[in-house]
Amino acid sequence: MPTRMWKWSLSVAAAAVLALPVPSWGQLTQYDLESRMGAESHVGNVTGHAKDAKTAYRRYCVGCHGPLGDGNGENFPWVDPKPRDFQLGVFKCRSTPTGTLPTDQDLFDTIGRGLDRSNMPQWDPLSNQDRADLVAWVKHFSPRWTNEKPGAPIEIPAEPEVTAERIKAGRDVFARVQCWKCHGVLGQANGPSAATLTDDLGRPIAAYNFTEGSRPKCGDTDRDIYRIFMTGLDGTPMPSFADNIKPDEAWDLVFYLRTLMSQPSKAKAMAKQLGLKPVDPNAPAGQQ
Amino acid sequence: MSKRYNFAAVLSAVVLICCGALILGQKVNAAGEGKITGTVKLDGTAPHMKGIDMAKDPYCSKAHASDPGHLETYVVGADGGMANVVVYISEGLTGSAASEASAAEPVFDQKNCMYTPHVLALAVDQKFKVTTSDQTTHNIHPLPNPMTGNIPWNQSQPPGAAPVEKSWKAPEVIPVQCNIHPWMHGWFVVVKGPHATSDTKGAYTISNVPPGNYTVTAWQEAAGTQTQKVTVAAGAAGTANFTFKAK
């Protein structure tokens, strides 16, 4: 073939490939990942760079989350809950509304906090820079960060003083939005719908048991608990209640949930004094 | 890299951009629009639809005391007409007709612990409302594949909750479920351009179809998809009847 013709046909072929619609579904390839190696994260005044996290990821994370970040590492068959698939860009612990991306700070916090009742430990030995680099690395697995911005963090008003009235009001919220359907009237994760819960990928998943002393997955401060039911835990059956619980009621509910937890708290002591009874699932609406 | 190679690359890029502009710029004449109509049938006897045990929620079982709930995988009438089949134009639409989102805002209701309708067809970017008529808490949890551009979300709707207004960014068949009532399964079928859903007699009509040659696709949640070629003349109706076999 004469050289000129060969070059022409090459460029025509290149044009034909470019004209094809971009195949966005299906598995990502090493090529897709290389093209997003410039991903960054911003946590406080630390800037994380994906390219700097390559070694740390291969050393600490790849065993579960896999070389392509799809949660299919060599430990996949042996761990439950299953490692997160970073390619989907769907995360449980967020400060942002359901259906939106978490902030860099959210991912950073998850790395440091770990996820209780899973194989994800707290990565205390990693420096802030290492963690920020790993956040950028986690982001480079999903095309969502190229196409979308993280959601705006929900606003959490200052925590009010816990009172008997607030605990009782929180119990009413617990009854009204029917938290007990999954979590049970005593918070023992034995509600009528608990046994059939599955995550977004169809795998069985347990509701949180408030009474066995484990930490809530996304942090154990009052603000962390507030955030859980106002953002939902995406990828799980736990929905967002943001449209149906007002900010003030949300604090009431936090106090009531504290009374169900086995850990000692001011709210728990007050509920004991009040002789507060569990909600009655058969009571008519608004008559607890 | 040789000069000639550069020239070739630039030229092919220019050709590419011109082609793209031509395709995007094609306008469909709104006057004399036709439609596509037809009937969807199921061949043979309809599979038995299992009853649903709603005992885990007394509200739901009470609502179905006289009329037990059944799975809705196949909803077939006496004459074999099949409901909940989405028919849409899969090939042949150009320009604005393909991207135009419908102004109608359909409602997806949670009623007596079932989804009404069981299948909701939507255009890309078309707004829809999720409502609840029930005195029990539901969570509305669509499960799109995030790789398509549609993002999963999960919202609680306790009794008396305000409607949730949403839309989808990309064509996809999206299952929707309630985790509290595991029998509640429905579908959002997101397509480009005009579409219709068959009624209980299996009849459907796709309106606002510009004259042209098309491929139409019929989707049924269990029986799969079928395609047919249809020609629509100005102001007239094309016909496409489909017959599915139960799987």
pLDDT score of A267: 97
- The class of domain A164-274 in CATH terms is mainly alpha
pLDDT score of B104: 87
pLDDT score of A20: 44
In a domain, B10, yes or no: no
- Of B36, B34, B29, B28, the C-alpha closest to B217 is B36
pLDDT score of A31: 77
**Backbone angle region of A5, left / alpha / beta, with phi > 0 → left and psi within -120 to 50 → alpha:** alpha
pLDDT score of B25: 40
In a domain, B23, yes or no: no
pLDDT score of A9: 63
Tell me which amino acid residue B71 is.
Answer: L
In A71-143, which ranges are continuous DSSP H helix? 104-113, 128-139
Of A15, A200, A244, the CB nearest to B161: A244
In a domain, B161, yes or no: yes
Determine the distance in angstroms separating the CA of A277 from the nearest CA of chain B, rounded to an integer.
Answer: 22
Q: Nearest 5°: CA angle at A179, between B110 and B150?
A: 50
List the CATH number of the domain containing B40: 2.60.40.420
Q: Retrieve residue A64's tokens.
A: 């579960």
In a domain, B8, yes or no: no
d(CA B100, CA A264): 58
CA-based nearest residue in chain B for residue A101: B151
Please tell me if the domain spanning A32-147 has the same topology as the one spanning A164-274: yes
d(CA B193, CA A83): 39
In a domain, B179, yes or no: yes
Reported ipTM: the value is 0.85
Q: How many domains does chain B have?
A: 1
In a domain, B24, yes or no: no
What DSSP designation does A86 have?
G
**Are residues A236 and A205 in contact, defined by beta-carbon separation less than 8 angstroms?**
yes
For chain A, 288 residues long, give each residue's pLDDT as a single digit of tens. 455 666 666 565 555 544 444 333 456 677 788 889 999 999 999 999 999 999 999 999 999 999 999 999 999 999 999 999 999 999 999 999 999 999 999 999 999 999 999 999 999 999 999 999 999 999 999 999 998 999 999 999 999 999 999 999 999 999 999 999 999 999 999 999 999 999 999 999 999 999 999 999 999 999 999 999 999 999 999 999 999 999 999 999 999 999 999 999 999 999 999 999 999 988 876 677
- The class of domain A32-147 in CATH terms is mainly alpha
pLDDT score of A19: 47
What DSSP designation does A101 have?
B
Determine the distance in angstroms separating the CA of A177 from the nearest CA of chain B, rounded to an integer.
Answer: 5
pLDDT score of B62: 95
How far, in Å, are A65, A272, B46, B73 from residue B52 at the CA level? 39, 41, 18, 13
Which residue range is the domain that position B36 belongs to?
A: 29-245
pLDDT score of A260: 97
Task: Please name the residue that has the structure tokens 């195949």.
Answer: A23
Q: Does A196 touch chain B (CB under 8 A)?
A: yes
pLDDT score of A191: 97
Is B154 within 8 Å of A237 when comparing Cβ atoms? yes
Percent of chain A residues topping a pLDDT of 70? 90
For chain B, 247 residues long, give each residue's pLDDT as a single digit of tens. 455 566 555 555 554 454 444 444 444 444 468 999 999 999 989 999 999 999 999 999 999 999 889 999 999 998 999 999 999 999 998 876 666 667 789 999 999 999 999 999 999 999 999 999 999 999 999 999 998 889 999 999 999 999 999 999 999 999 999 999 999 999 999 999 899 999 999 999 999 899 999 999 999 999 999 999 999 998 889 999 999 998 8
d(CA B149, CA B35): 30
Of B11, B20, B161, the CB nearest to A243: B161
Q: Which residues of A touch B148 (CB under 8 A)?
A: 24-25
Q: Which residues of B touch A16 (CB under 8 A)?
A: none
Q: Which residues of B touch A239 (CB under 8 A)?
A: 139-141, 154-156, 179
- Of B183, B184, B132, the C-alpha closest to B161 is B132
Domain boundaries, chain A: 32-147, 164-274
Is B154 within 8 Å of A234 when comparing Cβ atoms? yes
pLDDT score of A24: 37
Q: Does A147 touch chain B (CB under 8 A)?
A: yes
